[in-house]
Structure 1
């Protein structure tokens, strides 16, 4: 009887010990999982603008996406959560705290710097796109006079076309440019193909991508310089923590060479100190 009692007590003690060990193991496993789980940093972007940012097979892709993902990777404590937002809503969304970072190949301008902080990351210019069967072959700004030109609504592109019309056309006795604005770059290209506009005015890398994706349908004809400019990453004013997070990450991928490789792959350049000084006044 004593032996049976001793056996029962030993079995109970063993079960309790095993249960305690199991609970400790579960707790340790949960703690480890929590430690490795990365926080999300939301990134607003108009994902309709190849090759900078666009959706490919349901996944955010492009030069801006690759750079942001590398910035997050070298930090290691967070990952980017992309929020697809149309262009006109990007700055209001950032200011309204709908996302933490604005990463959408946005040109740095005085007007934008009054609303948000920006970190420079690439340099580009403008290209002109026409239909392959078009008799038009515009080389520079003055060739746009009297033409119907398509550009993205709410962007520096449409602003620049209106400026060219006023200063390079009307002021010199030439016909004004008829400007037609569209929500996205692909919509503008579709308007070009549909003969709704004569010329598409857009970022050089974007036009290069359109030419490559639509062989035999469109072609770049511009050869003159338009408005060389610098694009930047938008951060909400006063959010010094996020600004530092992105700035330090960008510095690290520049030092590692990853940044240069990405830009080169897309035919883009890193802005010089002089380029940055000119736009960050």
Structure 2
């Protein structure tokens, strides 16, 4: 299946030289997201690749979509999760000051196009539509599952299993596209259409599920696992889609240089162990990769299951 919309994946764009002495992230308790405490040293090799326009500014402007635990959330005024951890490490290895802004997922690519951010996390699937407006560096893998109540009468394992029931997904997400695309299959099989509800975040969808306003939520696997870890009486079923995710990079006059800097930074973070520590601290090690790839306009794109 060629996915034409989000999989947050695009983003794990960071990488650095040496991990600081206090770099080891703690294991989150009860599914709580870990703070971004991994410290990495600036890499002269990566810093030399950073475009002069960004060096002069001295900051890396990072969009952090509000995708929820374990990817990105805000607690006690602090951004937590895999994305803030990777973004901060990326800025450090590039020798830049980390300047994050939490935004709705649907605002990420428009924000890059408008020049408000240099990069955006959000685990984007790399699609033909997306490479029209931004470039990407892969840094993770993911897939989707249905979150349902343990006592649910329907436990769907495929998209056509939800024909005729009420299902939620995050607005702008690949899961929402999966559901919309499945409507044609429901019709072909003579089944009732899916009643689809889009939510601003996975946490909002989970809240609707807990109050029985929807019968299932299609979510990235990590989001579903953390909802369960936090004590919700849910279970995960099915494996939908799956493939490499990427960090989105603003397309500018200096894109080629910026993409080289981000890719090299990732390679360093993966080599020195910072990448694995950040993923482990956020229960996202299941999606680790070891070979970041660059995708831009005209490139052959990855295929998604």
Corresponding residue of 1:173: 190
**Contact 2:137/2:292, CA 8 A, preserved across alignment:** no
Are residues 280 and 116 of structure 1, via their aligned partners in 2, closer, same or farther at CA, if it must alter by over 3 Å?
A: farther
**Contact 2:67/2:73, CA 8 A, preserved across alignment:** yes
1:207 corresponds, among 224, 242, 246, to: 224
1:45 corresponds, among 64, 75, 93, to: 64
Report the TM-score, using the length of structure 1 for normalisation. 0.77
The separation in 2 between residues aligned to 1:272 and 1:176, in whole angstroms, is: 40
Are residues 230 and 246 of structure 1, via their aligned partners in 2, closer, same or farther at CA, if it must alter by over 3 Å?
A: same
> 3-state SS of the aligned residue for 2:90?
helix
The separation in 2 between residues aligned to 1:66 and 1:275, in whole angstroms, is: 20
Are residues 141 and 274 of structure 1, via their aligned partners in 2, closer, same or farther at CA, if it must alter by over 3 Å?
A: farther
Shift of 1:160: 0.6
Q: Tell me if 1:105 matches 2:123.
A: yes
Corresponding residue of 1:115: 133
Report the structure, 1 or 2, having the larger helix content. 1
The separation in 1 between residues aligned to 2:217 and 2:139, in whole angstroms, is: 25
Cα deviation digits, residues 86-108 of structure 1 (max 9, x gap): 11111111110111111122222
> 3-state SS of the aligned residue for 1:66?
helix
The separation in 2 between residues aligned to 1:275 and 1:236, in whole angstroms, is: 16
5+ residue gaps, structure 2: 1-56, 295-299
Aligned ranges 1:53-68 → 2 under 5 Å: 53-68=72-87
Are residues 254 and 280 of structure 1, via their aligned partners in 2, closer, same or farther at CA, if it must alter by over 3 Å?
A: farther
Are residues 40 and 272 of structure 1, via their aligned partners in 2, closer, same or farther at CA, if it must alter by over 3 Å?
A: closer
Shift of 1:48: 4.1
> 3-state SS of the aligned residue for 1:255?
helix
Q: Tell me if 1:240 matches 2:259.
A: no
The separation in 1 between residues aligned to 2:71 and 2:148, in whole angstroms, is: 21
The separation in 1 between residues aligned to 2:303 and 2:188, in whole angstroms, is: 30
1:71 corresponds, among 87, 90, 105, to: 90
The separation in 2 between residues aligned to 1:63 and 1:274, in whole angstroms, is: 17
Report the TM-score, using the length of structure 2 for normalisation. 0.72
Computing the radius of gyration from Cα coordinates, the structure with the larger value is: 1
Q: Tell me if 1:269 matches 2:287.
A: yes
1:137 corresponds, among 131, 155, 164, to: 155
Per chain length, whose mean CA-contact separation is higher, i.e. which structure has more relative contact order (CA < 8 Å, sep 6+)? 2
What is the root-mean-square deviation in Å for CA atoms of aligned residues?
Answer: 2.4
Corresponding residue of 1:88: 106
Aligned ranges 1:185-264 → 2 under 5 Å: 185-213=202-230, 215-220=231-236, 222-223=237-238, 225-238=239-252, 239-264=255-280
Shift of 1:273: 6.6
> 3-state SS of the aligned residue for 1:125?
strand
Corresponding residue of 1:157: 175
2:145 corresponds, among 118, 127, 141, to: 127
Cα deviation digits, residues 215-246 of structure 1 (max 9, x gap): 243222x13x3111221111111333432332
Corresponding residue of 2:52: none
Cα deviation digits, residues 157-182 of structure 1 (max 9, x gap): 11111112222x21122222111111
